[in-house]
Amino acid sequence: MAFLADNDDINGDCFILGTEGEPEEDVALNHVIFTNGMPAATDANACQPVAFTAAEATHFIKGNCYRLFTNGVAFQDALYLAYLRFLAPRNGLISPEFTTNVWNVRYNDAKRLTVAQTGALVAGLTLGDGGAFADQAAFLAAWGGAANVTNKARARKMFTDIVCCIAYMFRVRGHHYRQDLDQRYKTLWARCLHVDADIQSSWQNIATTGLHAIMPQILDRFWQNAVQNSSCAGTLIKRFDSAPAGAAGIMALKKGLDDINMIFPNIVKRVPDSKLAFDTIYANVSGSRWGASINARYYGVNRIQFNEGDVGALASVVLGVYDQLAPTADLRDSMALQRLAKIAPATGGAIGQAALRTTRSDHMLLIDTE
């Protein structure tokens, strides 16, 4: 076979990101199929409802279910994922008309079939035995008995929270899905006051094969709209301003610093250079929703660069005080804050011990009222 260049050769990333953000990959299983003439949103009306007829909706779901099924996805999962895929373009979240450079991505996983491809797909799905596609008979048999396989009403009611959960995870963890995120998804879902049975496939299937075609910027816009309209779970509203992956340490440091300043307002004088560096970094980071994110490139902004070593002493002070005065506090468990504090462990250890002695004495020696 001759050597032929493909889409990955033209658009694929030329570096390995590792844990620093999610690389762009053109995965065929994630492609969402739109037949010729199927309605779809444009760049101008992204995140706005798109009108489908019942026949168009059925055909969209059937075509995408078939593509998933013939690529090894179990029928029940394929049907549920295809239904979620339909709800996404119905809400203006996935479209073959979206322009990649407008949304700061290289790939659009929504694919518009040509007239010929549409005709072949329709023929293969309606003619029964003798059609042109592999596994067609098995698919049609399953489709014929599929009326009660997927709880459509439940899927519709859960759709907004499902999408917002993915948006949250992409923001704070930097990935749609990794194996280590599975339990985090389940915990977040429970905090939304839902149960596992409210979703009808795995989070891995939903966040990748099902809805990965939602571009990151559109994903975040949908979440923002849901927050503004109070149409998502309260826990997702509260988490909208969570620190993005890449800024968690700085934001955790800010929370801790505000806390201990209530008791020891001048404790930062022990590490003046670190406090000055922190003030500058925090002003830059807090002024941009995505500037400090490891995925900043998906939002059309330059990554804010800062040296974590400059705030290590201050983080050590905060963690040292927490170790002595609030060892079971949730903030104490912040891995990002712990990473910063390791830069200057002795500083925090000494000041933490001093803070403990002070709170046990008759005079708050660390408080300078002058």
* pLDDT tens-place string over residues 182-214: 999 999 999 999 999 999 999 999 999 999 999
How far is C-alpha 68 from the geometric centre of its chain's CA atoms? 23
Mean pLDDT of 2-29: 70
Q: Which residues make beta-bridge pairs with 111?
A: 33
Q: Which two three-digit tokens encode residue 222?
A: 């949908």
Q: Which residues make beta-bridge pairs with 110?
A: 32
**CB of 366 within 8 A of CB of 337?**
no
Question: Minimal CA–CA distance to 111: which of 100, 103, 101, 124?
Answer: 100
**CB of 338 within 8 A of CB of 329?**
no
pLDDT band for position 345 (50/70/90)? confident
Return all residues near 74 (Cβ < 8 A) that are at least 6 apart.
none
In a 3-state reduction of DSSP, which class is residue 180? helix
Least confident residue range of 42-56, 142-156, 223-237, 265-279: 142-156
- Show contacts of 20-28: CB within 8 Å, 24+ apart: 20/174, 20/294, 21/174, 21/245, 21/293, 21/294, 21/295, 21/297, 22/170, 22/174, 22/175, 22/176, 22/295, 24/105, 24/106, 24/107, 25/107, 26/107, 26/109, 27/109, 27/208, 27/212, 28/71
pLDDT band for position 266 (50/70/90)? confident
* pLDDT tens-place string over residues 346-367: 888 888 888 888 887 655 554 5
**DSSP-assigned states of every residue in 188-209:** HHHHTT--GGGSSS-HHIIIII
Mean pLDDT, the chain, integer: 88
Instruction: Say whether pLDDT at 283 is over 80.
Output: yes
Question: Minimal CA–CA distance to 325: which of 306, 348, 308, 343?
Answer: 348
* pLDDT tens-place string over residues 290-302: 999 999 999 999 9
For the chain, the residue count is: 370
- Residue type at 286? S
The predicted pLDDT at position 127 comes to 47
